[in-house]
Amino acid sequence: MLRRLSCCVLLVLPVFQLLAQSCTPPAGGLPGANPADFWRQQRQFPRVRAAEAATGPAVANLLRTHYLDPRRLEIMFRLVKTRVELEVWARNQGGGPFELLHAYPLAATSGSLGPKRRAGDYQVPEGFYEIDRFNPKSNYHLSLGLNYPNAADLALGEPNPGGDIFIHGGEASIGCMPITDAGIEEVYLLAVTARAAGQAVIPVHIFPFPLTEVELAKHATSPHLAFWRGLMPGYAYFEKHHEPAELLQLAAK
Q: How far apart are CA 145 and CA 163, in angstroms?
A: 10
Q: What is the pLDDT of residue 172?
A: 86
Q: What is the pLDDT of residue 246?
A: 65
pLDDT along the chain (253 residues), means of 10: 36 36 37 73 96 97 97 97 98 95 95 92 94 95 95 88 92 91 97 96 97 97 96 96 68 37
List active site positions.
Answer: 168, 176
Q: What is the pLDDT of residue 36?
A: 74
* 31 backbone φψ class: left, alpha, beta (φ>0; ψ -120 to 50): beta
Residue 61 and residue 221 in contact, taking contact as beta carbons nearer than 8 Å? no
Residue 79 and residue 177 in contact, taking contact as beta carbons nearer than 8 Å? yes
